[in-house]
Amino acid sequence: MEGLAHNPDGRVLLLGATGFVGSRLLKELARKRIKLTVLVRSPEKVKPLIPKDADVEVIKGDLLKGEGLEQALEGADCAYYLVHSMGGRSVTVNLEFAERDKKAARNFIRAADASGLRRVIYLGGLGEAGEGLSEHLKSRAEVAKIISSGMAAATVLRAAVIIGAGGASFEMLRYLVERLPVMVCPKWVDTRIQPIAIKDVLSYLVGCLENPDTAGKTFDICGPEVLTYREMMQAYAEARGLARRIIFRVPVLTPLLAAYWVDLVTPVPSGIAHPLIEGLRNEVVCKEDLIDKYVHVDRTPFKEAVKVAFSEEKEGPGITGF
């Protein structure tokens, strides 16, 4: 895979640079003096995120329309694809997110093939293919397939909930546990999950760029603990020094009702909460640890990740504005 090593004179294209993961990766790559190009819908949103002295070219564009891609790919030998189009308050409008995500990925791959891009690194979701997979997790897997279908060698990382200030799933967890000493949850409360700290996700993303042998491979990435959602909520409360939460399991509570309820008691809009809540029925744990062979990360325990996220939160609202 020697030929796929990142050329320090080449640029790395970062897609999703204004997002929860992308905004942090932008800072991390800039700190490593990597030359970057970002394609963003709103340059004014990305500018405050760019460290002084960093070599970052900002291109205004839109993946859904295919705008700006040709220019953004000029001189790039590797790209990070950290794009997600969930958002907004409306559940109905948001139901189309899967189609939007596929269209954006196809536009990117078409342009990447035309430009001769050599590598792409995509961060998607865990969850096993099959009948019961939620629309959200199915969509993440479909995007992985599209990203891997191009000529660029794709590295696919698959993660469950990422613990960090501003992450949609983490904010939902945070507000629910902080605000509700008593909770009523459906059966997903006993589904298993293996959350991961944002710091570790960044280490894996950077590590994959630095190790060309990760090209063309898919890896599960996780934190050290497998928890049920119930255990995760209690561990969050413990990490924050809150009283143990009282959690009742009820037989029925539809994802739609739960999403409206989350909208009511947290700042996470129902349009984002709905696909995430739907996904809570799917177990999201690592099935393999192949990544350890290529990128070494001392995995952060869940409670430590919560403490870091909370201290970040005190510095200001999450980047995604919850």
Ligand X SMILES: NC(=O)c1ccc[n+]([C@@H]2O[C@H](COP(=O)([O-])OP(=O)(O)OC[C@H]3O[C@@H](n4cnc5c(N)ncnc54)[C@H](OP(=O)(O)O)[C@@H]3O)[C@@H](O)[C@H]2O)c1
Interface mask (CB under 6 A) for ligand X, residues 136-155, using x and -?
A: ----x---------------
Return d(Cα 269, Cα 131) in angstroms, integer: 27
Structure tokens given for 54: 């960093």
Q: To 10 degrees, the CA torsion angle through 89, 92, 97, 102?
A: -160
Min. distance of Cβ 228 from ligand X in angstroms?
Answer: 18
How far from each other are the two terminal CA atoms of the chain, in whole angstroms?
A: 41
Nearer to ligand X, 17 or 251 (CB): 17
Residue 248 CB, nearest distance to ligand X (Å)?
26
For ligand X, the closer of residues 246 and 289 by Cβ is: 289
Cα dihedral value 86, 90, 91, 93, nearest 10:
-70
H/E element, 40: strand 36-40
* Residue 230 C-beta: closest distance to ligand X, Å: 19
Smallest gap, in angstroms, from Cβ of residue 198 to ligand X?
Answer: 8
Residue number with CB closer to ligand X (41 or 249):
41
Q: Among residue numbers 163 through 222, which ones bind ligand X (CB under 6 A)? A: 167-169
Question: What is the smallest separation between the CB atom of 322 and ligand X, expressed in angstroms?
Answer: 10
Given candidates 19, 212, 269, 279, which one binds ligand X under the rule CB under 6 A? 19
Q: Which of residues 40-99 bind ligand X (CB under 6 A)?
A: 41-42, 45, 62-64, 82-85
Q: Phi and psi of 295, rounded to 5°?
A: -135, 120
Nearer to ligand X, 106 or 249 (CB): 106
Question: Which lies closer to ligand X via its Cβ, residue 5 or residue 312?
Answer: 312
**Cross-strand bridge partners of residue 247:** 183
Opening angle at CA 185, ends 179 and 187, nearest 5: 155
Cα gap 80→153, rounded to integer Å: 12
Binding of ligand X by 320 (CB under 6 A):
yes
Instruction: Say how many residues touch ligand X, by CB under 6 A.
Output: 29
Asked whether the beta carbons of 188 and 283 are under 8 A apart, the reply is no
Beta-carbon neighbour count of residue 115 at 10 Å? 21
Residues that bind ligand X in the complex, under the rule CB under 6 A: 16-22, 41-42, 45, 62-64, 82-85, 104, 123-125, 140, 159, 161-162, 167-169, 320
